[in-house]
């Protein structure tokens, strides 16, 4: 006998977790499934982390409908869930008459899309607020509502809050097929089957594959890869706003963005690829990013790069988000083609999807005891000295600094393992509290984090993976590996 759920959400990226959290306001049995061993392991963990103001999408598209309203919803949700978010504003800079024309077009789009307070700045005004930009800059579109966030931290917080409000999360559970039954769907996974009234497909670059399990094929997704550089957080005052170049057909172009954690991101480029699992970086791509970034800001210190990474945009042949109930499969909802500005739009998209489910259900019943907040996260390094001293008195593990680059303590790592949707891998700990995100990239703290994970989870060191469950760090004793020889 299969468990009966009201709603199964496929995918625990930012779209699945946001929708789960909004649905957990209602009296519903909710299950979130993800094939990976952590929340937000795919596109949500590799993007520009910008909450776009909303001037970019063409009026009339779903992107335009959801971006600007979604942007304005971030202050509330981030306050409730204790997720760092900063409205730093953005500039789209232009160097010639062609860029000027583009900037004027997106300014008009912004007005049509309802983006608040946008305006065009001249050469002097731009350099006054961003003195490190290329002095050849002619003008810029200024959007004060643009912001920066840590997208995976948002998704983790949303999952945690949804679970606190009764939702279930099953990781390492891959959906392999879906069968339509009379008034329900049977979700077939590699870990068992689940019966549900409604399904929400939030499977990122795989959303078309999930769609095709139940419905007539109506769109296809071909990933568009973007590579990035990350600069060390010793680089200060490079830029205060997110700096874009005038967009082209290929997208928003190479940007320079501060992050909420004090680093700078430079990227992305844009290349279609065929393999939905390929997030390798490429030297040619990174060189293009370097040259393009230097055009915006000639003083970017590329000798301070600590990391490169790549993310996959879920670009569909509709060139827009595909959001709603699937026509030939009532009760099956989806968030497809959810490329940029998906992150920025998700609060408004989630509200819309919940409204559709509400209508299909004929009225959902609100819970009286929904709790919109999550237990705050202690960020030890950011606390005043006297608060640090009190914490150490209460729990000496706050005095044991595991990550020297980012000053992350053992107590913070232990907490992130034992929270709902807690960390199970080295990367999952890095995503939550940042050991390994600094200059040494885990060279020093990696083994110590593995040791803490093994101790707290009651596992052997060799059972702690780096990332997905097959990416093991330790495969056995050194002497065994070398056939008993001393190395």
Ligand X SMILES: Cc1cc2nc3c(=O)[nH]c(=O)nc-3n(C[C@H](O)[C@H](O)[C@H](O)COP(=O)(O)OP(=O)(O)OC[C@H]3O[C@@H](n4cnc5c(N)ncnc54)[C@H](O)[C@@H]3O)c2cc1C
Give 200 or 391: the residue with its C-beta nearer to ligand X: 200
Cβ pair 446, 426 in contact under 8 A: yes
Smallest distance, Å, CB 426 to ligand X?
A: 18
Which one, 163 or 452, has the nearer CB to ligand X? Answer: 163
Judged by beta carbon, residue 165 or residue 345, the one nearer ligand X is 345
Closest CA to 221 of 47, 339, 353: 339
Q: Shortest approach of ligand X to residue 16 CB, angstroms? A: 5
Q: Indicate the SS3 state at residue 354.
A: helix
Handedness of CA 221, 350, 22, 329 (dihedral sign): negative
Residue closer to ligand X, measured from CB, 268 or 293: 268
| Interatomic CA distance for residues 186 and 413, integer angstroms | 38
Residue nearest ligand X, Cβ-based = 342
Say which of 52, 123, 211, 318 is annotated catalytic. 52
User: Can you read off the two tokens belonging to residue 347?
Assistant: 């609060």
In order, the DSSP letters of 262-330 are S-EEEE---EE-S-TT-----HHHHHHHHHHHHHH-TT--GGGEEEEEEEEE--BTTSS-EEEE-TTST
Spatial CA neighbour of 469 closest among 418, 431, 425? 425
SS3 label, residue 400:
coil
Q: Smaller CB distance to ligand X: residue 313 or 419? A: 313
Q: What CA–CA distances, in Å, run from 412 to 376, 388, 399, 421, 449?
A: 12, 12, 11, 15, 11
Give the pair of three-digit tokens for residue 129: 């607020």
How do strand 192-201 and strand 332-336 relate by DSSP bridges? Answer: parallel
Q: Is 123 a catalytic residue?
A: no
Q: At closest approach, how far in Å is the CB of 418 from ligand X?
A: 22
Instruction: Between 14 and 162, name the residue whose CB sits nearer to ligand X.
Output: 14
Least distance from C-beta 185 to ligand X, angstroms? 14
Q: Which is nearer to ligand X, 91 or 414 (CB)?
A: 91
Question: To the nearest whole angstrom, how small is the minimum distance from the Cβ of residue 8 to ligand X?
Answer: 10
Residue 259 DSSP class: -
- What is the C-alpha separation between 289 and 183, in angstroms, rounded? 51
In angstroms, what CA-CA distances link 57 with 117, 177, 256, 315, 337? 17, 34, 20, 14, 14
For residue 482, give every residue at least 6 positions away whose Cβ sits within 8 Å of its Cβ, in sequence order, or none: none
- Nearest residue to 51 via CA among 132, 154, 125: 154
Contacts of residue 299, Cβ cutoff 8 Å, sequence gap at least 6: 132, 238
Shortest distance (Å) from residue 452 CB to ligand X: 25
Binding site for ligand X (CB under 6 A): 10-16, 33-36, 40-44, 47-50, 52, 151, 174-175, 202-204, 206, 226, 268, 311-313, 335, 338-344
Which of 90, 440, 36 has its CA nearest to residue 232? 440
Minimum CB separation of residue 70 from ligand X in Å reads 8
**Which CB sits closer to ligand X, 35 or 430?**
35
Min dist. Cβ of residue 17 to ligand X (A): 7
Helix (H, G, I), strand (E, B) or coil at 133: coil
Q: Do the Cβ atoms of 93 and 133 come closer than 8 Å?
A: yes
| Nearer CB in complex with ligand X: 57/435 | 57
Give least dist CB 467 to ligand X, A: 12
- Picking from 301, 299, 257, the residue whose alpha carbon sits closest to that of residue 132 is 299
Residues marked as catalytic? 52
């Amino acid at each position: 006998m299969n468990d009966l759920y009201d709603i199964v959400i496929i995918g625990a990226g930012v779209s699945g977790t946001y929708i789960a959290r909004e649905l957990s306001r209602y009296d519903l049995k909710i299950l979130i499934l993800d094939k990976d061993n952590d929340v937000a392991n795919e596109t949500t963990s590799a993007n520009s982390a910008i909450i776009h103001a909303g001037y970019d999408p063409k009026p009339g598209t779903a992107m335009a409908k959801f971006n600007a309203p979604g942007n304005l919803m971030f202050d509330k949700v981030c306050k409730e869930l204790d997720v760092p978010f900063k409205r730093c504003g953005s500039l789209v800079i232009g160097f010639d008459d062609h860029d000027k024309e583009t900037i004027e077009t997106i300014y008009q789009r912004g007005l049509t899309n309802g983006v608040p307070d946008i305006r065009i700045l001249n050469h002097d005004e731009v350099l006054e607020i961003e003195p490190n930009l290329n002095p050849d800059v002619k003008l810029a579109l200024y959007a004060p509502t643009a912001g920066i966030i840590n997208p995976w931290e948002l998704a983790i917080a949303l999952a945690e809050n949804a679970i606190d409000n009764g939702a279930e999360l099953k990781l390492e559970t891959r959906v392999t097929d879906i069968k339509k039954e009379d008034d329900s769907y049977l979700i077939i996974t590699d870990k068992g089957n689940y019966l549900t009234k409604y399904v929400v497909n939030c499977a990122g670059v795989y959303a078309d594959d999930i769609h095709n399990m139940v419905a007539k094929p109506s769109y296809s997704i071909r990933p568009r890869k973007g590579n990035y550089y990350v600069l060390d957080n010793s680089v200060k005052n490079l830029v205060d706003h997110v700096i874009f170049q005038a967009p082209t057909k290929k997208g928003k172009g190479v940007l320079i963005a501060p992050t909420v954690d004090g680093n700078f991101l430079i990227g992305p480029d844009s290349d279609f690829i065929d393999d939905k699992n390929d997030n390798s970086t490429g030297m040619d791509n990174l060189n293009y990013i370097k040259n393009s970034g230097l055009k915006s800001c000639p003083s970017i210190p590329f000798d301070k790069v600590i990391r490169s990474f790549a993310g996959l945009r879920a670009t569909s042949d509709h060139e827009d988000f595909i959001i709603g109930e699937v026509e030939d499969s009532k009760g099956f909802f989806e968030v497809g083609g959810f490329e940029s500005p998906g992150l920025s739009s998700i609060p408004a998209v989630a509200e819309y999807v919940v409204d559709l489910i509400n209508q299909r259900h004929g009225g959902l019943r609100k819970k009286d005891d929904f709790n919109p907040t999550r237990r705050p996260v202690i960020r030890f390094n950011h606390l005043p000295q006297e608060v640090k001293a009190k914490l150490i008195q209460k729990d000496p593990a706050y005095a044991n600094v595991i990550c020297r680059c980012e000053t992350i303590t053992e107590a913070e790592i232990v907490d992130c393992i034992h929270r709902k949707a807690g960390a199970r891998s080295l990367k999952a700990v890095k995503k939550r509290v940042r050991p390994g995100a600094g200059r040494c990239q885990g060279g020093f703290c990696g083994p110590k984090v593995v040791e803490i994970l093994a101790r707290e989870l009651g596992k052997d060191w060799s059972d702690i993976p780096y990332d997905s469950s097959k990416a093991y760090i330790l495969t056995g004793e050194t002497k065994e590996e070398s056939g008993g020889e001393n190395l």
